[in-house]
């Protein structure tokens, strides 16, 4: 299959109406289109067409018990898809939609089992990115979309990442530039009496608590589950985000972290090692292989660059990677959740 890549202007969606019309035609004839959102690029199909949705699993190599998120371009599109929208769900929608938050509701029959992974719930997101909104609206149907990466690899935050993973396997990529937040959406299950955080993201737990003070946190958000335990978001059980390298997180004060990573570099001096560092620490390492992920003073820059840096580790062929750890508050909870998975929970705590 030939993958068509079409570039749109994210600042002026009116300019590219013919591109959105072409993308809608692909979707409405059962094809796959990758598109940007403010979190990561998604790989979209018509969420109401089980046969089309199956192609997503094939292109990504994704296990079919891992359900997809249905994306909408207006809140009015929600009511046809889900039942029982609780008062707290409405408050969360009012506070954070459109934006980087996904809500899990009881599903209506219109959602096929391919989209919901056989569950009786469905995850729905109303993205803020204008290209995403314009694309979904042009299609006229909800768009089922996981992150547009090969299963297990870091999520794509650039059209070039999608091309690298999926060229020849999907019909079209809409290139709308880089993704603002760079981490997948926060997922909150609002299908029960008490909301539950299933995956942390740029809508932080602190922000959610202001709207829903009794929110609970699924155990899979915080660390590795024991044998036999199941995360509530099926996708949280899979290894994720992993570069080919063996990744170790080192966390402690800035000084101790740099010192420890330098001694690890010495220990592994016969291997191709890389360090994922910050603006504040980048000059402290005894190697040239330093990738700067962002600034500790502005953790949102770390979130935005995280997947790009993990992909770079493969590009440079690093076999061993040391990455600095961060405090698990605010956006740090989402950053560490992704890093821990990338590292297979391999973490050295210094304090
Ligand atoms: O930011 C995002 O959420 C991106 C963009 C494209 O919207 N999408 C994304 O999709 O990250 P994906 O498939 O990579 O991750 C979706 C997660 C998986 O862990 C899946 O198991 C969970 O959402 N999920 C989907 N439907 C669910 C449901 N009904 N109940 C619980 N978890 C669900
Ligand atoms: Mg994903």
Shared domain for 251 and 217, answered yes or no, is: no
Residue 187 CA to ligand 1 centre (angstroms): 7
Is 226 a domain residue? no
pLDDT exceeds 70 at position 239: no
> Ligand 1, closest atom to CA 149?
14
Is 241 a domain residue? no
Residues 6+ apart with CB under 8 A from 7: 159, 175, 176
Is 23 a domain residue? yes
Is 94 a domain residue? yes
Shared domain for 207 and 277, answered yes or no, is: no
| pLDDT classification of 29: cutoffs 50, 70, 90 | very high
Shared domain for 41 and 93, answered yes or no, is: yes
Residues 6+ apart with CB under 8 A from 114: 50, 51, 53, 54, 57, 64
Which ligand has the nearest atom to the CA of 198? 1
Domain that holds residue 290: 246-349
> Ligand 1, closest atom to CA 125?
7
> Given 206, 221, 236, which residue is the final one in a domain?
221
Shared domain for 199 and 254, answered yes or no, is: no
Ligand 1: which residue has its CA nearest to atom 18? 235
265-280 residue pLDDT tens = 999 999 999 999 999 9
Shared domain for 169 and 205, answered yes or no, is: yes
Shared domain for 151 and 97, answered yes or no, is: yes
Adjacent-strand bridge partners of 294: none
Residue 149 CA to ligand 2 centre (angstroms): 7
Segment 314-323 mean pLDDT: 96
Is 233 a domain residue? no
Is 237 a domain residue? no
Residue 257 CA to ligand 1 centre (angstroms): 33
Segment 216-227 mean pLDDT: 89
Shared domain for 322 and 190, answered yes or no, is: no
Q: Does the C-beta of 233 come closer than 6 Å to ligand 1?
A: yes
Residues 6+ apart with CB under 8 A from 264: 248, 250, 322
Q: Does the C-beta of 148 come closer than 6 Å to ligand 1?
A: no
- What residues does the ion ligand 2 have nearby, CB within 5 Å? 147
Q: Does the C-beta of 187 come closer than 6 Å to ligand 1?
A: yes
Ligand 1: which residue has its CA nearest to atom 15? 146
Is 269 a domain residue? yes
pTM, to two decimals: 0.97
> Given 186, 221, 256, which residue is the final one in a domain?
221
Ligand 1: which residue has its CA nearest to atom 30? 233
Sign of CA dihedral 200, 206, 212, 217: positive
Shared domain for 25 and 164, answered yes or no, is: yes
The 10 Å Cβ neighbour count of residue 347 is 17
37-75 residue pLDDT tens = 999 999 999 999 999 999 999 999 998 889 999 999 999
Residue 298 CA to ligand 1 centre (angstroms): 26
pLDDT exceeds 80 at position 241: no
| Strand ranges (E), 162-295 | 172-175, 186-189, 196-199, 216-217, 246-251, 273-277, 290-292
Is 24 a domain residue? yes
Q: Which residue bears the tokens 């202007």?
A: 9
Q: What is the CATH number of the domain that holds 309?
A: 3.40.50.11030
- Residues 300, 305, 307, 312: what is their CA dihedral angle, to the nearest 10 degrees? -160
> Ligand 1, closest atom to CA 127?
7
Q: What is the CATH number of the domain that holds 82?
A: 3.90.870.10
Segment 98-126 mean pLDDT: 98
Residue 68 CA to ligand 1 centre (angstroms): 5
Average pLDDT of the chain is 96
Separation between Cα atoms, residue 224 and residue 324, nearest integer Å: 19
Residue 155 CA to ligand 2 centre (angstroms): 6
Ligand 1: which residue has its CA nearest to atom 12? 146
Structural domains in the chain (count) = 2
pLDDT exceeds 80 at position 8: yes
Segment 145-164 mean pLDDT: 96
> Residue 51 burial (CB < 10 Å; 0-12/13-18/19+)?
exposed
- Asked if residue 86 has a cis previous peptide bond (ω within 30° of 0), the answer is no
pLDDT at 65: 86
Q: Does the C-beta of 123 come closer than 6 Å to ligand 1?
A: yes
Shared domain for 268 and 211, answered yes or no, is: no
Name the DSSP letter for residue 32.
Answer: -
Shared domain for 106 and 201, answered yes or no, is: yes
> Ligand 1, closest atom to CA 123?
26
Shared domain for 76 and 166, answered yes or no, is: yes
Shared domain for 208 and 251, answered yes or no, is: no
């Amino acid at each position: 299959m030939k993958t068509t890549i079409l570039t749109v202007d994210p600042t002026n969606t009116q300019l590219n109406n013919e591109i959105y019309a072409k993308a809608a035609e692909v979707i409405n004839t059962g094809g796959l289109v990758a598109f940007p959102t403010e979190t990561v690029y998604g790989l979209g199909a018509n969420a109401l067409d089980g046969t089309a949705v199956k192609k997503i699993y094939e292109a990504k190599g994704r296990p079919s018990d891992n359900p997809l998120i249905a994306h909408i371009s207006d809140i009015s599109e929600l009511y046809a898809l889900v039942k029982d929208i609780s008062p707290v769900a409405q408050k969360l929608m009012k506070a954070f939609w459109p934006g980087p938050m996904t809500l899990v509701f009881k599903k209506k029959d219109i959602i096929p089992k391919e989209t919901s992974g056989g569950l009786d719930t469905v995850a729905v997101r109303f993205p803020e990115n204008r290209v995403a909104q314009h694309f979904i609206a042009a299609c006229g149907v909800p768009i089922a979309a996981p992150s547009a990466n090969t299963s297990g690899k870091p999520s794509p935050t650039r059209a070039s990442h999608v091309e690298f993973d999926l060229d020849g396997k999907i019909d079209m990529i809409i290139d709308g530039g880089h993704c603002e937040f760079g981490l997948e959406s926060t997922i909150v299950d609002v299908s029960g009496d008490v909301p539950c955080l299933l995956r942390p993201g740029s809508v932080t737990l602190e922000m959610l608590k202001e709207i829903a003070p009794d929110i609970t946190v699924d155990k899979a958000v915080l660390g590795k589950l024991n044998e036999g335990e199941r995360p509530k978001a099926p996708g949280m059980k899979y290894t994720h985000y992993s570069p080919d390298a063996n990744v170790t997180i080192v966390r402690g004060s800035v000084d101790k972290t740099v010192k420890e990573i330098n001694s690890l570099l010495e220990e592994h001096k016969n291997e191709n090692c890389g360090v994922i560092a910050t603006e504040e620490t980048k000059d402290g390492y005894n190697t040239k292989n330093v990738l700067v992920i962002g600034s500790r003073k502005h953790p949102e820059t770390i979130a935005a660059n995280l997947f790009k840096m993990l992909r770079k580790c493969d590009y440079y062929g690093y076999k061993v990677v040391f990455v600095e750890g961060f405090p698990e508050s605010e956006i740090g909870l989402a950053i560490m959740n992704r890093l821990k998975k990338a590292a297979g929970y391999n973490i050295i705590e210094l304090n």
